[in-house]
Amino acid sequence: MQDTLTIRSAGALELELEIAGIGSRSYAFIIDWHIRLLLALAWLVATALLLAGGLSSVALGAAFGGDESVAGYVVVMPALAIYFLYHPVLEVLMRGRTPGKRMVGLRILTTGGATPGLGPLLIRNVFRIVDSAPLFYALGLTVVALTARQVRVGDLAAGTLLVYDKQGAKRGFDSPALANATTGLHPRQVEWLQDLMERWSALRPEVRRRLAAEFLRAHRMQLPSGEGQQYDQALREQLGQLLGMDLARRRAASR
């Protein structure tokens, strides 16, 4: 069983992320299931109350060309859409997260450590039909338990996996504005540095301190003094200063 995903990036530095197991995956799914179920039920209840309050199916049908059966579609179809499109829509919009995954501190990544695009996320969700067979995600949970990276069929098809990423929930890894605004650092270095800073809390203290120190030394920046939490915070501030200096160089060059 593989417990970590190692991402190799700029300067031959490595970033290790812990792979989510069956327990945390299931917990996040249960949270999301309750959310989408409640949202779908809320729509059904709200539209039912509107109909009971005087918005009859005849009036609603008249608004849609006189077809009273349209009322059923207006009530039922949006509720079904909320329930079945919850995961694919939110995972695309939230860059590999859902509210449930965010609460548990999980994130979907590709096997190469990148944020998955539209294609992989859609493939991953289409295969929920397979994973849910025959009942209650029995096949998907079995595959998770048997695979090295604890992934379900949809992940195997899409080339994705789930990792722990509590800090990443605050802000997306991909920040095009920052990446495009910097010139002193290579774009891959900018991306790696952003990943390190945003996954800071999810990494073991000794790992993040080592990675930060190596990166700062590679860019000829003096390491801060101190120890423990003070040293940890100072390192992160130094990384932020490095990105800030790079942004300042970009602005000066554009004048």
Per-residue pLDDT of the chain (255 residues; tens, 9 = 90+): 778 877 665 444 566 778 999 999 999 999 999 999 999 999 999 887 877 665 555 555 555 554 556 666 778 899 999 999 999 999 999 989 999 999 999 999 998 888 899 999 999 999 999 999 999 899 999 999 999 999 999 999 999 999 987 544 333 333 333 333 333 566 667 777 878 888 888 888 888 888 888 888 877 777 888 888 888 888 888 888 777 765 666 555 555
Q: Number of helices and strands (H, E) in the chain?
A: 12, 4
What's the whole-model pTM score? 0.64
3-state secondary structure of 1: coil
User: What pLDDT score does 175 carry?
Assistant: 36
- Nearest-angstrom CA–CA distance, 130 and 77: 23
- Nearest-angstrom CA–CA distance, 32 and 175: 26
Residue 33: burial class (beta carbons within 10 Å; 0-12, 13-18, 19+): middle
3-state secondary structure of 215: helix
User: What pLDDT score does 212 carry?
Assistant: 87
User: What pLDDT score does 69 carry?
Assistant: 61
- Which amino acid belongs to residue 81? A
Alpha helices (H) along 53-152: 57-63, 70-93, 99-104, 118-126, 128-131, 138-146
User: What pLDDT score does 202 carry?
Assistant: 83
- Nearest-angstrom CA–CA distance, 66 and 72: 13
User: What pLDDT score does 246 carry?
Assistant: 59
User: What pLDDT score does 70 carry?
Assistant: 61
User: What pLDDT score does 255 carry?
Assistant: 54
- Nearest-angstrom CA–CA distance, 198 and 92: 19
